[in-house]
Amino acid sequence: MPKLVLLRHGQSRWNLEDKFTGWVDVDLTPEGEAQARKGGELIKAAGLSFDRCFTSVLTRAIRTSWLALAAAGQAYVPEVKDWRLNERHYGGLTGLNKTDTAAKFGAEQVKVWRRSYDVPPPPLAAGGEFDFAADRRYAGAPVPDTESLKTTLERVEPYWSAEIAPKLVAGETLLIAAHGNSLRAIVKLLYGLDDVAIIGVEIPTGNPLLIELDAQLRPVAARYLDQGRAEALPAAA
């Protein structure tokens, strides 16, 4: 039975500063590092052994994978990094303080940008501090100027289908250390959630989500490894 663990990165510096981060490459805070290590300890206690790890090209997710795997005694596990597992691009909101942005545009408008399925924030202007077009991590890639969860899923899905799903079909146990929205995209794919149901799904930081799959990669069981946390997933469609 294939097993998949989804691990959202620990607290980043901009999480602590309440900023829209998206594709900006900020590091973990000491608290975020502790969360990643705790995730690895939970993985070890659950007796999980990984064949492979997938992560994004952003430091906070990469270091979360390193810290978690080391804490689990599996630092040797092969790792694949790909930009398609990045957090969603927050467009023109990138780098802004969330409270200040709500005061400027109104809390309801900011809520739509943050939590709706298919309404992206305003696009990021080209040539500014957070223009990633010249970043060599994205050479040849269609760098967006903003994303919704819908367009995030549209870049995650082909990567999932081509690179991750075949490993699960072959019986591998995988860890994906990534971001709230790229992981929510994977949950939507696996569970067949509609565009409304996915809005209510939140992936907690540093709490590994173990999903057991059948041969067709349909979820048959799922649980967060920290049993003290009460988050739940909708039933699979």
CB 51 within 8 A of CB 3: no
CB atoms within 10 A of CB 14: 20
Q: Which of 17, 79, 87, 212 is catalytic?
A: 87
Closest CA to 54 of 169, 215, 167: 167
Task: Give the three-state DSSP class for 4.
Answer: strand
Residue of 9, 33, 89, 179 with catalytic role: 9
Catalytic site residue 9? yes
Question: Which amino acid, one-letter code, is at 231?
Answer: E
**Could you report how far apart the first and last alpha carbons of the chain are, in Å?**
19
Is 179 annotated as catalytic? no
Q: What is the DSSP letter of 87?
A: P
Other beta carbons within 10 angstroms of residue 217's beta carbon come to 16
Helices (H), the chain: 13-16, 30-45, 59-71, 98-105, 107-115, 149-159, 165-169, 180-191
Catalytic residues: 9, 87
